[in-house]
Amino acid sequence: MKRSLINLTVDLIAAVSLGLMVVTGYILRFPLPPATNRSAALWGMSRHEWGTVHAWAGAGLLGVLGLHVILHWDWIFATIRRRFTGTPAAPTARRRAGVIAIVVALVVGGLFAWVAQSSVRERESAPRHSPRGLGPSREPDVGQTATPDGVKNPYPETYPKP
| 126: in domain | no
In a domain, 57, yes or no: yes
Q: Cα separation of 106 and 108, whole Å?
A: 6
Output the pLDDT for position 134: 47
**Domain coverage including residue 24:** 3-71
Rounded average pLDDT over 39-50: 86
Within a domain: 131: no
53 within some domain:
yes
- What is the rounded distance in angstroms from the CA atom of residue 71 to the CA atom of residue 11? 11
18 located within any domain: yes
Residue 29 domain flag: yes
Residue 122 falls within a domain, yes or no?
no
Tens-place pLDDT, residues 5-42? 999 999 999 999 999 999 999 998 888 888 877 778 88
Residue 38 CB-density burial (10 A; 0-12 exposed, 13-18 middle, 19+ buried): exposed
What's the total number of domains in the chain? Answer: 1
Q: Is 76 inside any structural domain?
A: no
